[in-house]
Amino acid sequence: MKIVGIVGSSADFSYNRLLLQFIGRHFGADFDFNLAEIKDLPMFNQDDDQTNSAPVQELVQVIEEADGVIIATPEHNHTINASLKSALEWLSYKIHPLDGKPVMIIGASYFTQGSSRAQLHLRQILDAPGVNALAFPGNEFLLGNVKEAFDDHGDLKDPKTISFLGTCLQKFQRFIKMTEFLNQPEAEVLPPEDLKATGTIDTTIQGVDKSAPDWVEQAAEVAHAVDGKTYVRLNRGILTVDQLNYFLASMPMELTFADSNNQFLYYNQQPDTGEKMLASRNPTQPGNPLINCHPERARKNVEWVIQQLRHGKQDVIRMHVPTHGPDKFVVHNYQALHDETGAYKGLNEYVLDIQPIIDWYLQQTGQKLVGDVDAVSGASEKSGPAKPAVDGVSGASEKAAAPAKPAVDGVSGASEKH
Amino acid sequence: MDKFIGLVGTNSSHSTNRQLLQFMQKHFADQATIELVEIKGLPMFNKPDPDHKQIPAAAQVIVDKINAADGVIISTPEYDHSVPAALMNALQWLSYGVHPFVDKPVMITGASYGALGSSRAQAHLRQILDSPELKARIMPSSEFLLGHSLAGFSPDGELLDREQCNQLEGLFKDFLTFVKITKQLNHAHESNAKEAANFSWEDK
């Protein structure tokens, strides 16, 4: 956990700076601690926007990198120092790096008050909409009579004070963890998915057991499905069923069609070359409700993917599946299907290894991948904990061990940055 | 006729608080002289050399003006629920080894673009002016909050809202009385002045 301590004074010597330095030394084992100064910041002035100046941006950066902020404030004229207020004005004018950031207020003063009134003002200021920080409630740490409080090494002398400070800091760290929940985007509750495909839609072939191993043959008979040299009119063109099959089999990817009733209807079976499919399918699977194709542990994720597509939250969901080893960049794509009116008609899962494409392209253009190879093969680490590689249809992936909320790489921005 | 300082509580070149003070200057010209004073350009207060407490020349100019005045009107905007840093900064300089505000009658006004009219900044400002090193005589139980101030003035600087104008006129009359009364509230002046003078930034 990273915590930055901001010295709320621009004086050359400040006991508040000393207090923060002590925190860094004494409690440094509990969290990464950085000290930040405000004394080089210019006075806030609307006429002369210096949001992009180096001192302001440096402060912004340490705040953005930190999980929590401690502000140590002196008290001048019953309030906080003008330089601290000015810094907060920069941090609330064009940019808002403290928005949603947990902030703990502490303060040291020479006399008995220990910056009590300044701390209350600061709390109100942090509450202002432009700042919108999450001020840590309670646990007020006021260090009065500060001249007697430190020994020659700059360490607090009173063990009780140190112990109380430690308690406050411990609770602050827990508060920081709580605010992570608060800062998460609202998880929208979408209607559950019927993965058993118990319903019927206008294209459902009725009277055939969806789980039957020969569903294709049975259903073809019931529905009088055409095959062979029969022409099918398409948008835009005419092919025979045979041609359509050749065409789909030639696609350099594994295609799977599941309808809006969550019934697995089709995959582009390839000629058997002895090579293992990237997401294995077998000829008995078409017709199955999606629930049949997935182990229990993967079902939550499958449901989430379909919910996203059905309700238009995302149009494509992609995830890389690293379990095929370092020589393959396997990507599972889930693309929503829509009719002419935009209604959800099911999903197209296409699975492919993009490495040959990348290699070929790099070779042709004389370029090469540089730097962080992880950017291609392991991007998942950045977007938070427990990111499962979900296999929506086949459930082959071992990583899909049912977290409550799958953090899947959505194209439209599931990997939010705080 | 009383002589007042109108302290513009911001360093911004566009300020409806400045406009409000300019309006008061004109509107009350027959009752008092109001000189507008700007706080822009003062360096950031950093408690230099606590033993000698030198203040910048620009701050000293303001100190002398306030010393010579019968009262001060401060008009403050509200930034982040409080007074702007620039005004805090000015008040820090104006209480660093100098004490022009001790027992000085002060009227607080404020204007804001939104509906609240700088209410929270004004409350903070009262607390600030109450501090031992400032110790001003703030006119009690009076508040002038000009909300939606961008639409508050005519092109020639007149306050548009008749009711608010009446309120301001009443408050200003009260302030003139308050200044007179304050002159009689002189029994504690010596000890106040002493307390402020003895107030050590080191001991705070």
Per-residue pLDDT of B59-89, as tens digits, reads: 999 999 999 999 999 999 999 999 999 999 9
Q: In which residue ranges of chain A is CATH 3.40.50.360 found?
A: 2-183
- How high does pLDDT run on average in chain A? 87
Only one residue has tokens 């033993």, namely: B51
Q: Is A87 helix (H, G, I), strand (E, B) or coil?
A: helix
**Given B11, B82, B131, which is nearest A43 (Cβ)?**
B11
**What is the reported pLDDT for A395?**
40
Question: Under CATH, which architecture does the B2-198 domain have?
Answer: 3-Layer(aba) Sandwich (3.40)
Q: B127, A44: Cβ pair inside 8 Å?
A: no
**In this structure, are residues A320 and A331 in contact, taking their beta carbons and an 8 Å threshold?**
yes
Name which of A47, A48, A76 to mutate to probe chain B: the one with the most chain B Cβ atoms within 10 A of its Cβ.
A76
Q: In which residue ranges of chain A is CATH 3.30.450.20 found?
A: 215-383
pLDDT averaged per 10 residues in sequence order, chain A, 418 residues: 96 94 95 95 96 96 97 94 97 96 94 86 96 95 92 95 97 96 82 93 94 96 95 96 96 95 95 84 94 89 94 92 87 96 96 94 90 45 38 40 37 35
**Beta bridge partner(s), residue B177:** none
- How high does pLDDT run on average in chain B? 93
Q: If you ran DSSP here, which 8-state letter would residue A376 be given?
A: H
**In this structure, are residues B72 and B136 in contact, taking their beta carbons and an 8 Å threshold?**
yes
Give the CATH superfamily of A215-383: PAS domain (3.30.450.20)
Nearest CA in chain B to A96: B80
Q: B85, A82: Cβ pair inside 8 Å?
A: yes
**What is the reported pLDDT for A387?**
36
Residues from chain A that touch B115, judged by Cβ atoms under 8 A, are: none
Residues 6+ apart with CB under 8 A from B23: B153, B157, B158, B159
Which tokens is B163 given?
A: 């009711």
Q: Which CATH number, 3.20.20.300, 3.40.50.360, 3.40.640.10, 3.10.580.10, labels domain A2-183? A: 3.40.50.360
In order along its 204 residues, chain B shows pLDDT tens digits of 999 999 999 999 999 999 999 999 999 999 999 999 999 999 999 988 888 889 999 999 999 999 999 999 999 999 999 999 999 999 999 999 999 999 999 999 999 998 888 999 999 999 999 999 999 999 998 999 999 999 999 999 999 999 999 999 999 999 999 999 998 887 888 888 888 887 765 544
Alpha-carbon distance B85 to nearest alpha carbon in chain A (angstroms): 5
Q: Residue ranges of the domains in chain B? A: 2-198
Only one residue has tokens 């979900």, namely: A390
Residues from chain A that touch B203, judged by Cβ atoms under 8 A, are: 110-111
**What is the reported pLDDT for A368?**
85
**What is the reported pLDDT for A372?**
53
Number of residue pairs across A and B with CB atoms under 8 Å?
116
**Given A10, A12, A85, which is nearest B82 (Cβ)?**
A85
Backbone angles phi, psi at A174, to 5 degrees: -70, -35
Whether B31 has its CB under 8 Å from any CB of chain A: the answer is no
**Given A46, A47, A85, which is nearest B88 (Cβ)?**
A85
Residues from chain B that touch A11, judged by Cβ atoms under 8 A, are: 46-47
Residues 6+ apart with CB under 8 A from A174: none
Residues 6+ apart with CB under 8 A from A268: A248, A249, A251, A254, A255
What's CA A265's distance to the chain center, in Å? 32
Q: Percent of chain B, pLDDT > 90?
A: 82
Q: In A, what residues contact B, Cβ < 8 A?
A: 9-12, 39, 42-47, 74-83, 85-86, 88-89, 92, 109-111, 117, 121, 124-125, 127-128, 130-131
Q: If you ran DSSP here, which 8-state letter would residue A36 be given?
A: E
Q: B46, A78: Cβ pair inside 8 Å?
A: no
Burial of A313 (0-12, 13-18, 19+ CB in 10 A): middle
